[in-house]
Chains A and B, each alone.
Chain A
Amino acid sequence: MNNFVKAGLVCIGILSAQIKAKEENLSIEEIIKKSYQACYYPGDDGQRKARMLIVDKGGNKQLRQFNIFRKDVEEAGDQNFLVVFEKPSDVKGTVFLVNKHLDSEDDRWLYLPGLDLEKRISASDKRTSFVGSNYFYEDISGRNYKLDNYELISEDNDYYRVKATPKSLDGVEFSHFELTIEKNTFMPRVISYYKGEKLYRKAEILELKNVDGYATVFKSKITDFETGSSTLVQFRKPDYDVGLDDSLFSARSLRNPPKGLK
């Protein structure tokens, strides 16, 4: 990373300190937007390796390993994702490409190497399992914050507790969810999804580290209490402002994905 960028990151550090001093005055919209930004928009782009351990009710384990690349088209706006699978063997070489749009439906493709097939996938099934895990497609690329209404339930020195209620129940399985947002990083440490009064699904950040000035998840877990299954994810080699080319997020990467991280 060049010195210019480093200088920029120091500035960001100062800025966030300033934000922290003022945080008592933040509106709920500002809290959510900052959280959304911290979670899904650190830097102009980013990449990392991920491993998932999927455990079902009976304790049976499955593994997924992939490289994930992201580039923002605009800050807190449209962005692109590329997920390249390395393991297990039956999904190796599978590539998932998302052109995420905030104001219209996402464009999504799945490349199946066995058939050399560029399969288009419909944008509607966002809340279905991502490759058999407890993560939904929407958890990977970020649920559009404009889809929910927010209410600050409580706050203490370290956390905001926020209730989110979907504006429309179309296409969602929960009635509402609650976020526990860490004040100094704006990262949602816990997200609890409810069906009525019943907690049915919980997403937790288990390990968070500072990487290049950005709060970065190293370990997280999603538990589904209805099915008794859970997915543990670990991230490695996170890197920001890599200078990923726009062309990485085009049809070219379906057939010719990057080998490893950039």
Chain B
Amino acid sequence: MKKITIMSFLLVSSMSGIAAEDNLWDEDLEGEWGEETADSNWSGFLEYGIGIRKQADNLFETKQTLNEARLYLENEWDNDGVSLNLKGEIWHDLVLSESKLNFRELSLSFSMGNNTDVKIGRQISTWGTGDLVFLNDQFPKDWQGYFNGRDDNYIKAAANAIRIQNYNEWADIDLIWTPKFTPDDYINGERFSFFSSIARENIGGINQINAEEPKSKLANGEIALRLSKNVSGTELSVYAYKGFDKRPLGATEEFRPTHHKRNLYGASVRGAIAGGLYNIEIIQENALEDSNGRNPLVNNSLQKYLIGYESEWLPKLNVSFQYYIERILNYDEMMTVSFAPEFEAPKYRRWLTNRIRYQALQDKLTINLFSFFSISEDEYFLRWNANYRHDDNWSYTAGINLIDGKEAHTFFNQFHLASNAYLRVRYNF
């Protein structure tokens, strides 16, 4: 509670700063350009969002997927080449009836020598070329944010990590070490139900996943490495990751969900072609605790392939497509030992995604229609929204998350009762 008071104080003080600044923008902007330093610059937003399910999920009392008020604040302090970065937020979530405090960033960053940048502490990391399809990006994600109507930024979650980026002639080296394994904020039954192949139906509400996480020791930390090079505008990258399944896709011998060891190797290419942009990305995921696929408790090794193209069809109308294939290795062995083969994923999962982005009214209105179509599992997920940025302060977003399919257990359709419409109002300051 003490923290909340501090935050509110900071909010009030930063708002009074805004009022003074407005004077700079009287018709003439002359003479108001004093030395500005970033160190007294609090900024952030206040937001309220509400999301309602299209159809009730009987495992939950409320039809709401989102009903929360959030205060987000950020600031940066620089001293002698070292920056302290803070991005913090408090919110009250009426769906889960809880208040939370979280730091999306609380880090120190500095340069070592001429070519190395270091960031230590809580931070969000992203790499890879996919649009809402993640292959080599093994950094924590919040899958509730995928569905419940929060801003897109909330798809990514923070982790406590050390990031070292070295830039040199032959390649840029980007190393991210997360000493304590940080799983995704996966769908665990708390807000949305999911299909359980043991229960043979969706579970959630009272029944939630209580996963066993890897023991907190240095050997169980996550290491992610990227080497990248820009060759005349074509971006080439190779990746490696040592860690665990980011979601508890396996089970212990006592049938408790858990994260198994996983090493990943991948590559990507991104560049311009025919007035548009293409991206190609691949990854090999090795299930270290079940290299031949004969252990039904361990998620099998996989290969994933992605190819995408984005172009401008009309001014301010951008259209992109991605084709994604996920191939389960040792599929026959897996099916032989599976407890519920009828609910296993297909050997080749195939998705087509499409994004239509249109901006109008001098970019104040942005319409974003992202759609997943699963060819292999006959299901879809429409993630559509419209944002109206009224001015530098007020912004409104309305959208739908619509999921449907043929079978109850498939990747997206198990969440069909999570389908919702939402509205968010944000005040930036």
Binding site for B on A (CB under 8 A): 49, 51, 53-54, 56, 60-63, 86, 88-90, 92, 99, 101, 105, 107, 114-118, 120-125, 127-129, 131-132, 134, 173, 227, 229, 232, 234, 236-237, 247, 250-252, 255-256, 259-260
Contacts and interface: CB of A to CB of B under 8 A. Distances in A.
Contacts of B363: 129, 131-132
B125 A105 contact: no
B153 interface: yes
B45 A89 contact: yes
Contact of A252 (B45, B83, B172, B391): B172
A255 B311 contact: no
B10 interface: no
B315 A173 contact: yes
A256 B364 CA distance: 28
Which of B155, B272, B318 is most buried by chain A, counting CB atoms within 10 A of its CB?
A: B272
Contacts of A127: 315
A252 B167 contact: yes
B428 A255 contact: no
13 contacts: A63-B392, A89-B43, A89-B429, A114-B153, A121-B277, A122-B272, A127-B315, A131-B363, A132-B363, A134-B362, A173-B315, A252-B117, A259-B83
Interface of B: 25, 29, 33, 36, 38, 43-45, 74, 78, 83, 109, 111, 115, 117, 123-127, 152-153, 155-156, 165, 167, 172, 228, 230, 233, 235, 270, 272, 275-277, 279, 310-312, 315-316, 318, 359, 362-364, 389-392, 395, 428-429
A9 to B, nearest CB: 25
Contact of A56 (B127, B165, B362, B428): B362
A87 B312 CA distance: 28
A122 B276 contact: yes
Contacts of B389: 90, 132
Contacts of B395: 90
A137 B12 CA distance: 36
Which of A88, A89, A134, A173 is most buried by chain B, counting CB atoms within 10 A of its CB?
A: A89
Contact of B391 (A60, A115, A116, A173): A60
A259 B78 contact: yes
Nearest to B167: A252
Which of B115, B275, B389 is most buried by chain A, counting CB atoms within 10 A of its CB?
A: B275
Given A62-B392, A105-B272, A125-B315, A256 B126 contact: no
Nearest to B279: A120
A133 to B, nearest CB: 8
A49 B277 CA distance: 31
Given A101-B233, A114-B124, 9 more contacts: A86-B38, A88-B392, A107-B272, A115-B124, A120-B235, A120-B279, A122-B275, A229-B362, A259-B83
Contact of B311 (A116, A117, A124): A124
* Interface residue SS majority, chain B: strand
Which of A105, A115, A259 is most buried by chain B, counting CB atoms within 10 A of its CB?
A: A115
Contacts of A256: 109, 111, 117, 165
Nearest to B270: A120
Given A49-B33, A256-B109, A105 B275 contact: yes
A173 B36 CA distance: 38
Nearest to B364: A132
A122 B167 contact: no
Given A115-B124, A124-B311, A259-B38, A251 B172 contact: yes
A36 B74 CA distance: 41
Nearest to B114: A247
Contact of B315 (A61, A105, A114, A128): A128
A53 B275 contact: no
B156 A115 contact: yes
A132 B364 CA distance: 7
A86 B428 CA distance: 14
A39 to B, nearest CB: 22
A117 B428 contact: no
Which of B29, B115, B311 is most buried by chain A, counting CB atoms within 10 A of its CB?
A: B29
A105 B74 CA distance: 36
Contacts of B78: 259
Given A105-B275, A252-B172, A259-B38, A247 B33 contact: no
Nearest to A105: B272
A127 B29 CA distance: 27
A115 B126 contact: yes
Contacts of A107: 230, 233, 272
Contacts of A99: 233
Contact of A128 (B123, B152, B279, B359): B359
Contacts of B33: 49, 236-237
Leading 9 A-B pairs by shortest Cβ distance? A89-B43, A114-B153, A107-B233, A88-B392, A132-B363, A116-B126, A124-B312, A124-B275, A125-B312
Contacts of A120: 235, 270, 277, 279
A107 B270 CA distance: 11
Contact of A251 (B38, B153, B228): B228
Which of A90, A131, A132 is most buried by chain B, counting CB atoms within 10 A of its CB?
A: A90
B126 A252 contact: no
B410 to A, nearest CB: 28
